[in-house]
Chain A
Amino acid sequence: KAGVTQTPRYLIKTRGQQVTLSCSPISGHRSVSWYQQTPGQGLQFLFEYFSETQRNKGNFPGRFSGRQFSNSRSEMNVSTLELGDSALYLCASSAQGARNIQYFGAGTRLSVL
């Protein structure tokens, strides 16, 4: 089976812009979770989608949003980018949910200038 695929791998944006990141989970996995990783804060949970519904959400402002399509592919959107949004954004899929074994993609490195 193909692994979790995230696109693009790298992004450079300027403050105030918006960005959309994409994640294709492992075939058959219905749960997709998103994480933000920074050197200072470590790995922080953004949200989980399961069967097109947001099932859980972390403590991030409303500028961070996501959605999941019927084929389980997920997108994450960040609007009005701030310098502090620069991070590695990781997507993970799971057969059973966000509390179970997560299979991670390689991540999208976002730099906000």
Chain B
Amino acid sequence: SQQGEEDPQALSIQEGENATMNCSYKTSINNLQWYRQNSGRGLVHLILIRSNEREKHSGRLRVTLDTSKKSSSLLITASRAADTASYFCATDAMTGANSKLTFGKGITLSVRP
């Protein structure tokens, strides 16, 4: 099963509104990352938060991490039509030196102009 699971599966908002997306995971992690994917394209890295960090900002993005609840949230403020995409969380589980990223199934965000 997927390590990270995003919630909701789909989100539709008006331009200018904030979008909040959540990710839950099962095992202890080294870090958690968020990626964006435009339709049929590759993923683009947005932000990485380490297990000893609680909050991180990058432009209009704000990510929080609660390791006690094994959850993370991605907030996009003042959304734009260009933010329409799928968003994925990816976790790096603490399973050894050669671990990998495990991706959730993604959240489809639609921003209406």
Residues of chain A whose beta carbon lies under 8 Å from any beta carbon of chain B:
4, 33, 35, 42-43, 45, 48, 55-56, 58, 88, 90, 92, 97-107, 109
B42 touching A106, Cβ below 8 Å = yes
Kindly list 16 other residue pairs between chains A and B, CB separation below 8 angstroms, not including A100-B92, A104-B35: A42-B103, A42-B105, A42-B106, A43-B43, A43-B105, A45-B100, A55-B98, A56-B100, A90-B43, A92-B42, A98-B99, A98-B101, A99-B31, A102-B45, A104-B42, A107-B41
A102 touching B92, Cβ below 8 Å = no
| Closest chain B residue, CB of each to CB of A94 | B101
> What is the interface of chain A mostly: helix, strand, loop, or mixed?
strand
4 nearest interchain CB pairs?
A104-B42, A42-B105, A43-B103, A99-B92
Q: Does B48 contact A (CB under 8 A)?
A: yes
A56 touching B99, Cβ below 8 Å = yes
Bound-state CA distance A48–B92 (Å) is 14
A101 touching B99, Cβ below 8 Å = no
| Closest chain B residue, CB of each to CB of A90 | B42
Bound-state CA distance A42–B5 (Å) is 11
| Option from B43, B45, B100, B104 in Cβ contact (under 8 Å) with A99 | B100
Bound-state CA distance A107–B38 (Å) is 12
A42 touching B100, Cβ below 8 Å = no
